[in-house]
Amino acid sequence: MRSYSLIAPAKINLYLEIIGNAPGGYHELAMVLQSISLADRVHLRANGTQQFHCACNSNQVPQDKTNLAYRAAELMAKQFPQAFNRYGAVDINIEKQIPVAAGLAGGSSNAAAVLVGLNLIWQLGLTQPELQELAAQLGSDIPFCISGGTALATGRGEMLEPLPDLPPISVILAKYRSLEISTAWAYGTYRQKFGHTYVSEPEALLERRQRFHSGSMIAAIAHQDGQKIGQLLHNDLEKVALPAYPQVAQLRSAFENTDILGVMMSGSGPTVFALAESPEKAQQASITVKNTLNHPDLDFWVAQLIPCGIQIDH
């Protein structure tokens, strides 16, 4: 029986711009995605049956066929029936460290780990681009979670271009435990309010993508300029989420009064993250915000930017 343990890092958005409508009801996006050291561990063990099983140490995570990691395993079985018949199913055990429903791609990263793990257990020999092509069938964030690091994402997030690795800048994450923001609500509300600004012509979409590619944020990343990156953090979804969720807006404001490089909501929220020059400054900022807001429901994590996605846990 073969088994693998994989490290599945969380993801933040250093930049998120909504450009227009994409096919299938999605949005055309321009994003800078970044892996961080806060990670789940996903253990896969061949079980000698034809039935996948999923377990998790968090009761917030579904442990049935609705779990994205389970769906990743089913997709692999469907795509590679001979390997599935030969090697059989696996037990999937998820050790959660990434908060659930936090806009940090925890579920997507778990699914990416299953794709990478089954590729190894079933000895398929798939390349990273081949795995990412499969991943795009499951969700927009999953192709990035496989490769990780720093990347420019366009389309609905599945068209990836690697960017230079950033130094291990510290990142503080903060989230109200009982607060969730629906991704569908965030994007749907943005479309209702700002749909009139959307670009739809192919030429205009291409021009916007190219403009972003040659813009300030990409230049700051090329120069590994943490200070500039902090100043240029941007997320269009804040325009709808912050007015609707004053707690998130208040959390963001509290960080602005600390010694940080920059602060922003990640993805569709509700996690707020701040970049800091050092682990010490990150720790100090989290203590200051914790004391300022003094809320029992508020959790904090200190991590750092990392240059990789799914890794084998040796």
Would you please indicate which residues are annotated as catalytic (active-site) residues?
11, 141
Quick one: tokens of 54? 């999923």
Tell me if 267 is assigned to a ligand binding site: no
Tell me if 102 is assigned to a ligand binding site: yes
Tell me if 109 is assigned to a ligand binding site: yes
Q: How many other C-beta atoms can be found within 10 angstroms of the C-beta atom of residue 132?
A: 21
CA distance 272 to 263: 7
Tell me if 108 is assigned to a ligand binding site: yes
Tell me if 90 is assigned to a ligand binding site: no
Q: Where are the alpha helices (DSSP H) in 214-276?
A: 216-222, 226-232, 238-244, 246-256
Pair 39, 303: CB distance under 8 Å: no
Tell me if 8 is assigned to a ligand binding site: no
Tell me if 100 is assigned to a ligand binding site: yes
CB-based burial, 18-41: b 16+ in 10 Å, e otherwise: bbbbbeeeebbbbbbbbbbbbbbb
Tell me if 285 is assigned to a ligand binding site: no
Pair 270, 176: CB distance under 8 Å: yes
Tell me if 101 is assigned to a ligand binding site: yes
The answer to whether the peptide bond before residue 202 is cis (omega within 30 degrees of 0) is no
Quick one: tokens of 191? 């479309």
Tell me if 107 is assigned to a ligand binding site: yes
Pair 69, 42: CB distance under 8 Å: yes
Tell me if 99 is assigned to a ligand binding site: yes
Measured in degrees and rounded to the nearest 5, phi and psi for residue 174 equal: -140, 135
Q: Return binding residues for ATP.
A: 99-109
